[in-house]
Chains A and B, each alone.
Chain A
């Protein structure tokens, strides 16, 4: 059987998922994901050309409400669990290249 997922694909997916994987994890996930994908391949046996997808089982319409301001969490409460908070903002590493030393 053709390989369901290659190591290169695992590396690509890890990058999309923002997960830094070790070499050992890449090996292991390649094998395990291939086994799981082998199992889910059984879905190919079913003809679903005229079947609509189900995103959610109770078939609710998206509810509407008045566009009114309501109290939110508040800045102090939002800041409390933050790993880094500076001048009223979540602080993160530099994302725009500039005058780096």
Chain B
């Protein structure tokens, strides 16, 4: 008897297409596992058993009718709770959207449905995707499947943990400053942030519109390529969606790295970096040379400014985007005598501390008298960060670096120090600012109990194929870098 929960999306879809397993059996197996273990992890905010089984049955019926099932036929998928999903409560991890049921599907949801994926439920996240530990969820914490005293990373911590714990082979996340790559690194799974504009944001609840991007979590690079090929592509409903075709992402896999030049930025191996993490990442990079890549040291001199740029740009955009939560059209309303009072009290009651802090910072950075000094300045320095990458990508085909400076930290360790929490994203922010595709793949472990470490691979804009090619070659060469969490059955 095969353990359906240990299979990849590629394998599961093959079983469904060949008739060796039904979508229903696959959905039931994953739901059973999630119900059995998620009280110890907290990856899901809501498991939607009934909807999942309805979707699975529809896939099985389609096959019975002789219609060819889609690319993700019967593949169970976890959805970060900020993608508008028709008929399924969507909270963004916030009290202000508690009970909110969207009346339409995000483009990504439509495309997953069209590919015959099966939605198992909504995964936990930092409120409005603001955080690096998933501790800012208004509903629950999520524990790292490798060590339940530690954070899973964030903001897509529920999605990362659900995939690591084999509750689903695939989960969808979003990455604004590292929210796919950093939790992927901490949970020992693969997480891809596509190029800005590659995947439509229509129906995604906005945090920072010039940075937000949707991408997959998976346990293999091939699965990441498959899911990305399903969700990517131009969408006229998103004016920032890139009007260009998506190359065959699966064709990039299965190759060595001969002829590729890969840059190692010296600014990503700095003081403050955990030496054990640096050691594991250095060893992984050396492996890339064995696979045929030519390595060279490169410099991205404005790296140290990325955090400051990000926390001005992202909060400014967030303060504007989140102004829509005013108790008028949807979500929480706190009754008050005047409209102004209703706004202020609704938002005071509905938003958690980190969201308030970022709205405050963003509003300040945009306010009269400070706009040029903060927001305007940050946008200019963002140009310098982009130029660093432009220059280096004139010389190399990909850049490799640690995903995060440390392994997963302990629950509660950084909640009282926002700046320390923000530093968790210091290596993922630059690629976000420059709109680059970037992936985190498991590359080894540190400590006891062993905690996973991620290798980050960044590419030129719209060059997901090279990013996936390098990640896939590494994954095949280093099977020991992937492990299942020991604490779970």
Contact = CB atoms under 8 A, between A and B. Distances in A.
Interface of A: 5, 9-10, 13-21, 25, 29, 32-33, 35-36, 39-40, 42-44, 46, 48, 51-58, 60, 62-63, 65, 73, 77-78, 80-84, 90, 92-95
Interface stretch (B128-136, B169-177, B343-351, B438-446): B343-351
Interface string B286-311: 00000000000000001011011101
Contacts of A42: 304-305, 308
A65 B309 CA distance: 33
Nearest to B315: A36
B209 to A, nearest CB: 8
B101 A81 contact: yes
A62 B461 CA distance: 18
Contact of A90 (B102, B328, B338): B328
A94 B418 CA distance: 39
Interface residues of B, number: 73
Contacts of A54: 379-380, 382-383, 386, 433
B380 A52 contact: yes
A81 B100 contact: yes
A13 B380 contact: no
Interface stretch (B4-12, B151-159, B185-193, B234-242): B234-242
Contact of A43 (B329, B361, B377, B419): B377
A43 B378 contact: yes
B386 A53 contact: no
Nearest to B362: A17
A81 B336 CA distance: 19
Interface of A (DSSP majority class): loop
29 contacts: A13-B363, A19-B347, A19-B351, A29-B356, A29-B357, A29-B360, A36-B419, A39-B419, A42-B304, A44-B377, A53-B379, A54-B380, A57-B436, A58-B195, A58-B196, A58-B240, A58-B461, A63-B236, A77-B103, A80-B101, A80-B103, A81-B329, A82-B330, A83-B327, A83-B332, A90-B329, A93-B338, A94-B339, A95-B339
Contacts of A44: 377
A43 B381 contact: yes
B217 interface: no
A13 B363 CA distance: 6
Contacts of B344: 15, 18-20
B363 to A, nearest CB: 4
Interface string B351-367: 10100110111011001
